[in-house]
Amino acid sequence: MKQLSHIWLIAMKDLKIFAKDRAAVFFFIIFPFMFVLLFYYLNVGAVEDVRLELHVVTQEAEGGLSHQIIRAMETTDESKLRPGEPVIIWDKDYNKAHQAVEDGELSGFIAFPADFTEGIMTGSGTRLEVVADAGAVNDRAALNGFAGAIASQFSTHQAIINASITLLVEGGIIPADEESIGRAVDEIMADFFSGGAAGAEASYIAFNIEKVGEVEAENPANYVISGYLVMFVFFAAAVTAETIVRERQNNTLERLLASSVKKESILGGVFTGTAIRGLIQILIFWLAGIFIFKVDLGLAPVAVIILSILMVIMSAAFAMMLATLVRTQRSAGSLAVVTALVLAPLGGCWWPLFILPRWLQTVAKISPHAWATTGFNKLMLFGASFGDVVPEMLVLLGFAVVFGLIAIWRFRTSAV
């Protein structure tokens, strides 16, 4: 009981010091909202749900197979497209289109080569060229997908021709001479292209599209607030390490020991003080988020709260550990700033983690920030349920336990 009382008194002492430090209060309570406001207004806007525009060019002369294909694909009336179907635009000049991509004015296009028909008809094979701007990720992927679909259709035709001719020859239905085979191939090909859309009707897998509403704009606060909450809760806790080192250096901790306060109570008191400060921070963050920025806590608000509390506990444990690993106040301060500023962008506090390359998302998992922001994003952006974020909660708890154990093992009250 006495120990608990000591823990409480030390925690309250730390909180009082924090409350009196106007600069610190400004930095950890007011300052984060300047970021939130800035990124909220940078990202807020009307939703854009435009169709992808895919440009197609051919280098073949008029009359070539590619002209037939493009004519069949080209969008002449956008109102007839089904939801999500791309607009196909036929560009007539290959060089102009190529220059436009080089100049960054066009995201990309698909080009049929000058010998496309010859390559198909003779069976020697041909290629489709996708010319794209590296930065136009979506258009590039769509162009490649579209070109792949055209290529796949021709592969299907080729496979049909090869299998049919083999069977017809082997079954003695047509003679094995070149002329007869050529005639049979022409007949099969004529059948393919008579429909115009190159056998699309023969597809065994059809797609039905059901529209269930319109795309709604995402409230940027849903990811901005959680990101800066994680960053500043960790930052505020990390700099506490400097205070602990200072108290160790000026023998405050030793004096506390002399007054019958146990080492565990000191550690518990500083931890509790840091954690309570973090809890105040998250309370302010979420209240401002809900009432001012109208954030949506998703289907499992309890999970958001538990995740926030675990973030606070982990951050406080980290501060304890950092204080036990460094010798000087300056090192503690520098390392606190360095870790806070490196782990924040790495862990998805400055930008959502899911927009980063997958391998970097994997690397990011070395930081507790990444687990916290992933959990918040799952809950607040993708409609996850409580069960979906249990792994993130467990990992944060794991970080807290590891940091806490190191802190207990290394904790010294004396600077010597």
Q: Pick out residues in 354-383 that bind another protein (CB under 8 A).
A: 356-358, 360, 381-383
According to CB under 8 A, which one of 1, 207, 259, 409 is a site residue for another protein?
A: 207
Residue number with CB closer to another protein (145 or 391): 145
Let me know: does 92 contact 57? Beta carbons within 8 Å: yes
Residue number with CB closer to another protein (9 or 218): 218
Asked if 162 interacts with another protein (CB under 8 A), we say: yes
Smallest separation, CB 257 to another protein (Å): 25
Smallest separation, CB 178 to another protein (Å): 19
Question: In whole angstroms, what is the distance from residue 286 CA to residue 193 CA?
Answer: 61
Smallest separation, CB 265 to another protein (Å): 26
378: left (phi over 0), alpha (psi -120 to 50) or beta: alpha
Question: In whole angstroms, what is the distance from residue 286 CA to residue 33 CA?
Answer: 12
Residue identified by tokens 């022409």 is 186
Smallest separation, CB 9 to another protein (Å): 23
Cα dist from 266 to 259, 291, 329, 366, 404, whole Å: 12, 37, 18, 29, 14
According to CB under 8 A, which one of 211, 259, 409, 416 is a site residue for another protein?
A: 211
Question: In whole angstroms, what is the distance from residue 318 CA to residue 407 CA?
Answer: 8
According to CB under 8 A, which one of 4, 19, 176, 202 is a site residue for another protein?
A: 202
Residue number with CB closer to another protein (340 or 395): 340
Annotate each residue in 177-196 with x if it binds another protein (CB under 8 A) or - if it does not, as one string.
-----------x--------
According to CB under 8 A, which one of 168, 181, 185, 280 is a site residue for another protein?
A: 168
Smallest separation, CB 345 to another protein (Å): 6
Q: Show the DSSP H helices in 21-115 as ranges.
A: 22-25, 31-43, 65-73, 94-102
According to CB under 8 A, which one of 3, 155, 362, 414 is a site residue for another protein?
A: 155
Q: Which of residues 57-86 bind another protein (CB under 8 A)?
A: 83-84, 86
Smallest separation, CB 317 to another protein (Å): 23
Cα dist from 272 to 105, 176, 266, 326, 415, whole Å: 57, 89, 10, 21, 22
Give residue 166's identity as a one-letter amino acid code. T
Helices 301-325, 263-291: crossing angle, 10 deg rounding:
140
Question: In whole angstroms, what is the distance from residue 192 CA to residue 31 CA?
Answer: 66
Smallest separation, CB 261 to another protein (Å): 25
- How many residues comprise the chain? 416
According to CB under 8 A, which one of 15, 257, 337, 397 is a site residue for another protein?
A: 337
Q: What is the CA radius of gyration of the chain?
A: 32
According to CB under 8 A, which one of 209, 259, 260, 409 is a site residue for another protein?
A: 209
According to CB under 8 A, which one of 89, 150, 181, 397 is a site residue for another protein?
A: 150
Residue number with CB closer to another protein (145 or 398): 145
Let me know: does 73 contact 56? Beta carbons within 8 Å: yes
Q: What is the total count of residues that contact another protein (CB under 8 A)?
A: 106
Q: Which of residues 110-149 bind another protein (CB under 8 A)?
A: 119-120, 123, 125-135, 137-138, 140-142, 144-149
Question: In whole angstroms, what is the distance from residue 416 CA to residue 412 CA?
Answer: 9
Asked if 386 interacts with another protein (CB under 8 A), we say: no
Asked if 21 interacts with another protein (CB under 8 A), we say: yes
Q: Which of residues 30-49 bind another protein (CB under 8 A)?
A: 31, 34-35, 38, 41-42, 49
| Residue 381: how many other CB atoms lie within 10 Å | 17
Question: In whole angstroms, what is the distance from residue 236 CA to residue 239 CA?
Answer: 6
Question: In whole angstroms, what is the distance from residue 174 CA to residue 181 CA?
Answer: 7
Residue number with CB closer to another protein (62 or 214): 214
Asked if 350 interacts with another protein (CB under 8 A), we say: yes
SS3 87: strand
Q: Which of residues 239-298 bind another protein (CB under 8 A)?
A: none
Q: What is the DSSP letter of 104?
A: T
Residue number with CB closer to another protein (51 or 255): 51
The stretch near another protein (CB under 8 A) out of 223-231, 257-265, 314-322, 328-336 is 328-336
Question: In whole angstroms, what is the distance from residue 408 CA to residue 393 CA?
Answer: 22
Token digits for 19?
A: 């409350």
Asked if 160 interacts with another protein (CB under 8 A), we say: yes
